[in-house]
Each structure stands twice: as structure tokens, then as C-alpha cells.
């Protein structure tokens, strides 16, 4: 059976191509279904599992007890028949039956505790792996997220971890138990009757051949299922977060059609994988049946001729079943192992994405700064083919507000992403009070460089919690004081539950002006020396606009500020206006100086900053 049996429609190919681009690391590993299994991917989990080695050892001991008792059972039954039933020794029969009962109770106990302890350890290890993965994802640089769909990350964080759970919490030990049982049973069978045992073992090579071919097909097919669910999740995530645009452009029908296509493919790959995985068990059963028939026929003839005791034949037949039990289990576990191997590989892939922006070994805490910022000959690109900044030099003195203006794509957002070290520069240096930002710890840098994004990001929780987000130890009074300074206090008090009003999904229940003021209060409470602000361009009513402008003025007061300015009032009030074009500063100075110069700024001004997203109208309308 070939996995090519799962067909991709033309529409599917188009959709998959849309979600799979060269730099999208997770997408390309999702799509690569033929790659060789990387055994080293399992190595990454060893430290997590090793932490629970005592539980694992206890499980192995319990498993050995269980398996030993399980193997002894048929032997004792054979003994019971030959030595006690056939010799009509009723007292011995009573003793033996009692012993068998005790052994079976002990066997079930051992099995229960073995399953319990292994599942416990497996779940603990998995909990650690998920936390580790989450921490790793938080440390990854923005360039990883630029190239990765969140849905694909979620898929690995959730469904792949689920798959791994089954193997860690029970699968591995069951496999070991099956192997031990198999070896024990083979030994016992050989000891009981070499000829019958060898006859039974003739089927083993057939098993190997079946397992070999099955493994080849199943792994490809399991990879297909993981990649399909990853694509479904990526699409779901994108469509749900973009639901407003989808509904406003009436794309629901078309998107449902596209989603159906992906979902259908996901169904097909899963059904195909099920077809392949269901194949292995019946195949083992057929081979087991052939072996049983062989033993019963030849053993039966020997017993009829009197060269084999009946008890031994009964015990032997019981052993054949027990012999195939671990093989059956192994094939099922092998199935599980194949799936888990694919999941482990995908988790390993995420864990091995390097953290690009790391603190230097000798990084030091940035001391309390005054706020002098210098860009010295800064060179930067996101991809080598497209240079963004080609030697940018800029100095902003402590306490100054610099408004950065320029046409779209000029590099305004890039400059501020570099100052917070979301990306590392490729050449030159960025200095704060003379400290190169690459020499200090990121945590100490970001404590003193605050960012207020254009679209305030509010988290689920109360307004109070949202304001406190950047300084958890702030008291209620400090939260309210910050809100008062930026002019948010009155607005908040007028809300349903004041500061305790719950913010729903990213603050959708608040107006844009309210969201902006809350994010100003949050920034003010965190009290960074340097503030980066991407000025909002949304249209808000004149009254709120006035409050926002006043809040902004108070927020910027006494700090060094970089503002991607969109409102003329902000640009005019700035101490320094930096005009950027194609990643280079073409002019800088105050509003009046630049107008006098009659250059790039003057023409942007004359055009009403139309191409920069700024407007001469107050409040700004874009």
C-alpha cells in the first residue's frame, strides 16, 4: 500500500503552497514526509525522563515481577495437571490451586502499580517538556515568528505532545515488558520441548519481514497526518483571528470551501493511516494461528503416541498464546512508537530552533540611565537580499522626543525594533548612555526601554491587571495614580465595574481611545527612561483625542522618546524630527528648521504627510 493513495486536490496544493514558504521552517519540516527518522530527536527528552529515573526503575522492577509471574503460570498449570490431577493428589491440588491464586493476585498488584507509576512519571516528564517548550518559544527571537505560523506552533505544543504522552506514560515500558516476556517465554518453551519450540519459532522471520515493510509505509503515513493537522491548525488560527476582515469582505463561503478542502485531506490522511495501522494486528494473528495449528498437530501426534505428557502439551499451547501476546503488543506499541517518533521529531525541531538573541556570557545589568541614545552607522536587513538600514547615524539626547517620519517602508518600525533588541543589528552599534545594547542583559535593557504599540495589546483580565502588567509589584494606588496622570481614571470609573471591569478578547469591549489610554497608563506605571511609541492612526472622537493627546504629553514628559509620529501636533512638538527615506536619514531638525530648509520634510508637510500615514488634520484621519 502506498501513501500516494491519499490524493491532494488542486485547490489543496494551492492552499498548502500559500502556507508553506521557503523560510517557514515549521512548514517545510511539516511537508518533508520522506526524511529519515532522526534518532537524535529522542535524545532531547532523556534529561526530562531521567529526572524520574527512580519511578522508572520501580516500574521496571514491578514489570519484571509481573512478567516472571505471568510466565510461571502455564508452567504451574502443566505441573498441576501432570503431578496432581493425573495422580489424583487432592491435597496437593488444593495447595497448588492456593499457590496459583496467590501468584495471580500478586501479579495483578504488580501490574497495577507498574502502570500507575509509569503513567505518573510519564505525565510528569511531559509536563516538564511542555513547560520547557513554552519557555523556549518565549525566548525565540521575532525573526522566528516572522517566518512561522502560530497555528503550526500550537499544533506541536498540543497535539504532538498528546501523541508523545501515550508512549512516555505507558508505551515504552510495555514494549520493554513485552520484550522481557518474549525472551522468558522463548527460554521456557525451549526448556520444555525443543522440537515443538523450534517449530513454533519458524514463523518469526515472517513476522520480521511484515514489520519491516509495514514500518516503512506507516511512518510516511503518520507524517502525512501530522503535517495535515498542522496545516488545518495554521489555517484555523489565521481565519479565527481574521474573522472581522473575513466577515466584512464576505469571504465566509469561500473560506469554508477552502477549509473543507484541508479538512477533507486531513480526514483522508487519517483514514489512510488507520488503514495501515489496522493491518499489522490481523497479520500477526494469522501468523500466530499458523504456529498454533503447527504445534497442536505435531504436539497432538506426540501426545497420542505417548511421547509427550498431556500437561506439557496444555502448558505449551498456553505458552504459544503468551508467546504471541508480547508480539501482538509489540506490534501495537510499534505502531504507537512510530506515531510518537514522528511527534518527538516535530517537538525536537522546535526545541532545536536556536535562540538568536542571547545575552552575552559577560552581559551586565544596564545601570539606571539618563537616556542618551546613539545609533552609530547602523546596518540592518531582515534578509540579505533586501538591506533596510545602510549605515544610519542618529543621536537623541536624554529627555528629547524624536519624531520619526518618512514614507511607508522607510524603516521607521525597524529602527525601534532594533532599539529594544528584538532583532540584532548587522553592523555599527546602538548605545544608551554609552552602553552598547548588546553588552547588557536584555531584561535590564527592556526594563528601561518601554514600548507602546500602535494597536494596544490588552490581555484577558481586569483593567487594573492590564495596567499593572509591566510592574507587577505596583500597588492599587500607584495603578490609579498612573491612570490619573494620563487622563484614564475618569473614563475607567465610568465603566461598568471601574478598575475591575473585565477585558474581553484583546479589549474588544473597549473603544480605541480607552485602549490607548490604558496602554499609556501601563507604560507610565512601568516608568521606563526611554519610551518608544508607535502613534495610533485610528480615528477617535475629538473629545477623547484631546484626552489622548494630553495623556501622551504627560507620558513623554521627562523621558527620551522615539515616536513614529502620525499626528501633526506630535511632529510639531517634537524636539527632533527625523526624516527617513529608504533606510537613510535625509533630514533632521525641528519643525521650523526643516520647513525653512524646504527639502524632503517641507514636501511631506505640503502633501499633508499623506504617504506617511500622518495627517495635517487634527485629529488625524487616515
Ligand X SMILES: Nc1ncnc2c1ncn2[C@@H]1O[C@H](COP(=O)(O)OP(=O)(O)OP(=O)(O)O)[C@@H](O)[C@H]1O
Q: Which residues bind ligand X (CB under 6 A)?
A: 146, 382, 388, 406, 408-414, 613
User: Is 595 or 622 the residue whose CB approaches ligand X more closely?
Assistant: 622
Query: Smaller CB distance to ligand X: residue 427 or 558?
Result: 427
> Least distance to ligand X from the beta carbon of 613, Å?
6
The distance of closest approach from Cβ of residue 113 to ligand X in the complex, given in angstroms and rounded to an integer, is 53
Query: In this complex, which beta carbon is closest to ligand X, that of residue 44 or of residue 357?
Result: 357
Report the alpha-carbon distance of residue 509 to residue 486 in Å, rounded.
20
φ and ψ of 539, to 5 deg: -80, 120
- Give least dist CB 498 to ligand X, A: 35
Which residues have a Cβ under 8 Å from the Cβ of 148 and sit 6 or more positions away? 24, 25, 26, 27
Contact 192, 316 (CB under 8 A): yes
Q: Give the 3-state secondary structure percentages of the chain, helix then strand then coil, rounded to 5.
A: 65, 10, 25
Instruction: Quote the DSSP letter at residue 199.
Output: H
**CB 415 → ligand X: shortest distance, Å?**
7
For the bound state, the minimum distance from the C-beta of residue 145 to ligand X, rounded and expressed in Å, comes to 9
Among 478, 554, 460, 551, which Cα is nearest to 513's? 551
- Spatial separation of the C-alpha atoms in residues 122 and 49, rounded to whole Å: 7
Among residues 146 and 541, whose Cβ is nearest to ligand X? 146
User: Which of 227/614 has CB closer to ligand X?
Assistant: 614
* Residue placing its CB nearer to ligand X in the complex, 341 or 411: 411
Residue nearer to ligand X on the CB measure, 406 or 551: 406
Q: At how many degrees (to 10) do helices 542-556 and 476-486 cross?
A: 120
Least Å distance between CB 582 and ligand X? 9
CA 488/CA 160 separation, integer angstroms: 44
Report d(CA 279, CA 428) in Å as an integer.
62
CB nearer ligand X, residue 311 or residue 456: 456
Shortest distance, position 470 Cβ to ligand X, whole Å? 23
Question: Nearest-CA neighbor of 12 among 257, 191, 183?
Answer: 257
Strands 530-534 and 386-396, how do they pair? unpaired
Alpha helices, DSSP H only, in 363-428?
Answer: 412-419
Please state the closest distance from residue 23 (CB atom) to ligand X, in A: 9
- Please give the Cα distance from 157 to 345 (Å, whole number): 13
DSSP string of 496-510, one letter each residue: TTGGGPEEPGGGTTS
Amino acid at each position: 500500500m502506498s501513501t500516494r493513495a491519499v490524493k491532494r486536490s488542486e485547490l489543496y496544493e494551492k492552499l498548502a503552497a500559500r502556507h508553506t514558504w521557503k523560510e517557514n521552517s515549521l512548514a517545510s519540516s511539516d511537508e518533508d514526509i520522506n526524511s529519515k527518522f532522526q534518532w537524535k530527536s529522542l535524545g532531547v527528552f532523556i534529561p526530562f525522563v531521567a529526572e524520574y529515573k527512580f519511578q522508572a526503575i520501580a516500574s521496571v522492577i514491578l514489570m519484571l515481577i509481573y512478567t516472571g509471574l505471568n510466565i510461571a503460570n502455564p508452567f504451574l498449570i502443566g505441573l498441576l495437571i501432570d503431578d496432581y490431577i493425573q495422580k489424583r493428589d487432592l491435597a496437593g491440588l488444593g495447595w497448588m490451586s492456593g499457590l496459583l491464586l496467590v501468584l495471580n493476585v500478586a501479579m495483578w498488584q504488580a501490574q497495577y502499580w507498574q502502570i500507575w507509576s509509569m503513567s505518573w512519571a510519564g505525565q510528569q516528564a511531559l509536563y516538564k517538556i511542555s513547560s520547557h517548550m513554552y519557555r523556549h518559544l518565549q525566548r525565540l527571537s521575532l525573526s522566528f515568528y516572522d517566518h512561522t505560523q502560530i497555528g503550526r506552533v500550537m499544533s506541536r505544543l498540543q497535539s504532538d505532545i498528546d501523541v508523545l504522552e501515550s508512549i512516555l506514560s505507558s508505551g515504552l515500558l510495555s514494549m520493554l515488558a513485552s520484550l522481557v516476556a518474549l525472551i522468558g517465554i522463548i527460554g521456557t518453551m525451549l526448556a520444555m520441548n525443543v522440537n515443538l519450540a523450534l517449530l513454533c519459532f519458524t514463523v518469526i522471520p515472517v513476522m520480521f519481514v511484515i514489520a519491516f515493510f509495514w514500518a516503512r509505509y506507516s511512518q510516511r503515513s503518520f507524517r502525512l497526518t501530522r503535517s495535515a493537522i498542522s496545516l488545518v491548525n495554521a489555517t484555523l488560527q489565521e481565519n479565527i483571528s481574521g474573522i472581522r476582515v473575513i466577515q466584512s469582505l464576505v469571504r465566509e463561503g469561500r473560506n469554508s470551501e477552502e477549509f473543507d478542502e484541508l479538512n477533507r485531506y486531513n480526514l483522508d490522511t487519517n483514514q489512510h493511516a488507520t488503514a495501515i495501522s489496522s493491518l499489522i494486528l490481523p497479520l500477526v494473528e494469522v501468523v500466530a494461528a499458523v504456529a498454533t495449528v503447527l504445534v497442536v498437530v505435531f504436539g497432538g501426534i506426540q501426545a497420542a503416541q505417548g511421547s509427550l505428557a498431556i500437561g506439557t502439551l496444555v502448558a505449551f499451547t498456553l505458552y504459544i498464546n503468551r508467546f504471541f501476546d508480547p508480539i501482538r503488543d509489540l506490534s501495537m506499541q510499534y505502531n504507537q512508537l512510530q506515531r510518537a517518533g514522528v511527534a518527538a521529531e516535530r517537538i525536537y525541531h522546535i526545541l532545536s530552533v536556536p535562540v538568536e538573541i542571547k545575552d552575552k556570557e559577560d552581559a551586565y545589568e544596564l545601570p539606571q540611565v539618563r537616556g542618551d541614545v546613539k545609533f552609530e552607522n547602523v546596518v540592518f536587513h531582515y534578509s540579505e537580499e533586501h538591506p533596510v538600514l545602510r549605515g544610519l547615524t542618529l543621536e537623541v539626547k536624554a529627555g528629547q522626543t524624536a519624531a520619526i517620519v518618512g514614507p511607508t517602508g522607510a524603516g521607521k518600525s525597524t529602527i525601534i525594533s532594533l532599539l529594544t533588541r528584538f532583532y540584532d543589528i548587522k553592523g555599527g552599534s546602538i548605545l544608551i548612555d554609552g552602553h552598547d545594547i548588546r553588552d547588557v542583559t536584555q531584561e535590564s535593557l527592556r526594563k528601561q526601554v518601554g514600548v507602546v504599540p500602535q494597536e494596544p495589546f490588552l490581555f484577558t483580565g481586569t483593567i487594573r491587571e492590564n495596567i499593572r502588567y509591566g510592574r507587577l509589584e505596583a500597588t492599587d494606588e500607584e495603578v490609579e495614580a498612573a491612570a490619573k496622570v494620563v487622563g484614564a481614571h475618569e473614563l475607567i470609573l465610568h465603566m461598568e465595574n471601574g478598575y475591575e471591569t473585565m477585558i474581553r478578547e484583546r479589549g474588544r469591549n473597549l473603544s480605541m481611545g480607552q485602549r490607548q489610554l490604558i496602554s499609556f497608563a501601563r507604560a507610565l506605571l512601568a516608568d521606563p527612561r526611554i519610551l518608544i511609541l508607535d502613534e495610533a492612526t485610528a480615528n477617535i472622537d475629538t473629545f477623547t483625542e484631546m484626552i489622548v493627546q494630553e495623556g501622551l504629553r504627560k507620558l513623554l514628559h521627562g523621558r527620551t522618546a522615539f515616536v513614529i509620529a502620525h499626528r501633526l501636533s506630535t511632529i510639531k512638538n517634537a524636539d527632533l524630527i527625523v526624516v527617513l527615506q529608504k533606510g537613510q536619514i535625509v533630514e533632521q531638525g525641528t519643525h521650523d528648521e526643516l520647513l525653512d530648509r524646504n527639502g524632503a520634510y517641507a514636501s511631506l508637510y505640503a502633501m499633508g504627510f499623506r504617504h506617511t500615514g500622518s495627517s495635517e488634520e487634527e485629529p488625524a484621519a487616515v
